[in-house]
Amino acid sequence: MDNPKPLVLIPGKINDRVRERVKAEFDCLEIERADASLVPEHRRSEVRAIASMTVIDAAFINAFENLSIISNFGVGYDGIDAVHAALRNVMVTNTPDVLTDEVADTTIALILNTLREFPKAEAYLRVGKWASQGNYPLTSLTLRGRTAGIFGLGRIGLAIARRLDGFDIPIRYHNRSKRQDISFPYRYEESLVELADAVDLLICVVPGGEGTEKVVNAEVFEALGPNGVFINVGRGSTVDEEAMIEALSSGKIAAAGLDVFADEPNVPQALLDLPNVCVLPHVASASIDTRNKMANLVVDNLAAWLSGNPALTPVSEARSLNHDD
């Protein structure tokens, strides 16, 4: 007797809550990685959905003739060939909004840690240096008197801006185009270089993909200047890491705070060796509460779409496929 539940494929690692709900609500097939050869041939036509946090390319999509939806765990979905999926009439969803506040909170913490060296000060105390050597050295950098530039004023960028408002920090931004949909007192800069030149705290929140590959480059760091601080909570692929390391080493910029890297979890040793860098292991959204909300949205998208209802959070490439659009 055929299983009445749609078959959901999970390639590679996934959040535990996603796995638990998929197994409870659907027929579930797990494979080690996104390799169609790992799916038994007689089951490939049964695959209706993919729940994923890995690369899903066109060839993998094409392997499943009855694939209907790819539900991505995370806001960034540059690892999914969403254009090809849409051409195949395959819905693609992600998990926006539910992690916005957590990432924005972490960004503020990363800014303060980078400028005021709080992690280093705590380590100084813990190893007994406060008692043996006296007060921690005064920090040369501060948030006071700075102007912030946000590269990517989307949901998360706007949440970061709202938090910086509370610090009385002037804010400018750059997107592909000036935002007209909402009213806010932030000045738009026509290019990323112009934004970097106008501020001394540059915060990168843009997604990955071909359009943003290494867009934060040597010219941007040169424009940011020797008092400039760079913060990245978007994608590591958006930054030319060699140019950033050179800028930090030579004093072209003052410091950097990074939660994302080009080749995670591998971080260049040259970057780790620099004294003016604060690094985090991609933890901006990594609270149990937020990850559970993300996991629920992954499965809720599957449940909605596979039951004939609109997807809850379709990505831009797939919005035309949504039943109510």
Condensed to tens digits (0 to 9), the pLDDT of residues 147-192 reads 999 999 999 999 999 999 999 999 999 999 898 876 778 999 999 9
- Domain residue ranges of the chain, discontinuous segments joined by +: 7-96+289-321, 100-279
Residue-level pLDDT at 180: 85
Q: How confident is the model over 76-92, as a mean pLDDT?
A: 96
Query: Distances in Å between the alpha carbon of 53 and those of 60, 70, 150?
Result: 14, 10, 26
Fold of 7-96+289-321: Rossmann fold (3.40.50)
- The listed CATH number (3.40.50.1970, 1.10.10.10, 3.40.605.10, 3.40.50.720) that belongs to domain 100-279: 3.40.50.720
Q: How confident is the model over 105-128, as a mean pLDDT?
A: 98
Q: How confident is the model over 220-224, as a mean pLDDT?
A: 98
Residue 325 pLDDT > 60: no
Angle subtended by helix axes 16-25 and 288-306, to nearest 10: 30
d(CA 109, CA 196) in angstroms, rounded, equals 21
Q: Which of 44, 116, 163, 282 is catalytic?
A: 282
For 250-309, write each residue's pLDDT tens digit.
Answer: 999 999 999 999 999 999 999 999 999 999 999 999 999 999 999 999 999 999 999 999
Tokens of 313: 């959070």
Identify the band that residue 2 occupies on the pLDDT scale cut at 50, 70 and 90.
Answer: low
Q: Which of 235, 241, 291, 317 is catalytic?
A: 235
Q: Is 33 a catalytic residue?
A: no
Q: Same CATH topology for 7-96+289-321 and 100-279?
A: yes
Tokens of 319: 């919005």
Q: Which of 122, 190, 219, 264 is catalytic?
A: 264
Q: How many degrees, rounded to 5, is the angle at CA 272 between CA 267 and CA 276?
A: 130
Residue carrying structure tokens 């910086």: 164
Q: Is 65 a catalytic residue?
A: no
Q: Is 235 a catalytic residue?
A: yes
Nearest to 116 by CA among 201, 11, 18: 201
Residue-level pLDDT at 182: 66
d(CA 135, CA 239) in angstroms, rounded, equals 36
Within the chain, residue ranges assigned H as helices are 16-25, 58-62, 82-87, 100-116, 118-126, 129-133, 155-165, 192-198, 218-224, 241-250, 269-272, 288-306
d(CA 181, CA 91) in angstroms, rounded, equals 26
* Percentage above 90 pLDDT, the chain: 94
Residue-level pLDDT at 1: 44
- The pTM assigned to this predicted structure is 0.93
Identify the band that residue 216 occupies on the pLDDT scale cut at 50, 70 and 90.
Answer: very high
Coil, strand, or helix at residue 292? helix
**What does the mean pLDDT of the chain come to?**
96
Question: Is 263 in contact with 214 (CB distance < 8 Å)?
Answer: no
